[in-house]
Amino acid sequence: MNKFIILGILFLGLIPLIDNSFQTEIQNDVFIFVQTSIKNSDGQLVAYLESSKFSHLNLPALNSFLDFEASQRSSPIITIDGKQHEIIRRVQSQSFDYEGLVASTILYDRIEEKSILLARFSHDGYQVIPGDVLESMWTFIRPVS
């Protein structure tokens, strides 16, 4: 019994040392939410994941990406607590021609012919087979300047 109490206290003592790398807000209170669905070749839903917690955020590139996306088309404006916010959405689709395990949902941008990681949502993963289609809807909500 004493061993369990000591282990519990030790674990609680380590909590502040654990890397809390998941983020939901970035500079200027931008909120990020992603919904990912995987459908088989018959169009049947195989998996659905959603998150607002991310393990990797490239803040400078992400802010530049959002500025560009907002300049391409008008984005809806909503009011939250009396302040105006812009909603920017981007949908990514990918078809699979291989079998494997996918363990993260990633948003990339192409800058000077290079793929740049903007945001990554890590998860337990899902199996894909040829013919499966992934669709991720990324939603960004940021204050209007």
Mean pLDDT, the chain cut into blocks of 10 residues (145 residues total) = 41 37 53 91 92 81 88 87 90 91 84 87 84 93 84
Task: Name the residue ranges covered by the structural domains of the chain.
Answer: 21-143
Which residue shows structure tokens 């302040």?
A: 83
Helix (H) or strand (E) holding 111: strand 100-111
Write down the pLDDT at residue 40. 93
Give the torsion through C-alpha atoms of 119, 25, 36, 68, to 10 deg: -60
Write down the pLDDT at residue 28. 52
Write down the pLDDT at residue 5. 42
